[in-house]
Structure 1
Amino acid sequence: MYKNVTNFAAGFMVILCLIFSYYLLFTDVFIDKVSGFKRQAFGILFLLYGIYRAFRLYYLIKKNKSEEN
């Protein structure tokens, strides 16, 4: 049961990171607080972190399924 909660939380974090990176890179949201190179750097950083978390989640789910069998 706790594995399902952990997987859900990790998936939610992946989605949040990818959405936030999209907003930083492609919209004018937060433009008054962060602009220029910092905005692009944070957007790329969140994008890479979201991708990293997605790969970790994929391998965690794959590992859990192989342990069940």
Structure 2
Amino acid sequence: MTREPETDRSDIYYQLLELSMLMKSINGIVREMDYVRQDGSRIEELDCVAALHRIASREVDRISELASFLDRPRE
């Protein structure tokens, strides 16, 4: 059985920060999208995607903040 390399705790924190930056980039794209069809009706699927993205983005930011204690030198 092979042993996986040990992950530094601070790596987890920085990966969460990168995920947060990715979510912010996606947010910019989602905000620029046109949520209205040519006939004037809403594209409900895009509304749903935007809502799910807001939830995911908020949670990533919350978890990143909670995980900030991981950004410490190993003892």
Is the TM-score greater than 0.5? yes
Bigger relative CO (Cα 8 Å, ≥ 6 apart)? 2
Deviation at 1:3? 1.7
Judged with a 3 Å threshold, the aligned counterparts in structure 2 of structure 1 residues 17 and 48 are, in CA distance, closer, same or farther, namely same
TM-score, with length taken from structure 1: 0.64
Deviation at 1:36? 1.2
1:13-43: CA deviations, max 9, x gaps?
Answer: 111122213311x2138xxxxx811112112
Residue matched to 1:46 = 53
SS in 1 for 2:33: coil
Is 2:25 aligned against 1:15?
no
| Identity percentage of aligned residues | 3
Runs (5+) with no aligned partner, structure 2: 1-6, 35-41
The Cα RMSD (Å) is: 2.5
TM-score, with length taken from structure 2: 0.60
Deviation at 1:53? 1.1
Instruction: Tell me which stretches of 4 or more aligned residues in structure 1 moved more than 2 Å.
Output: none
Deviation at 1:46? 1.2
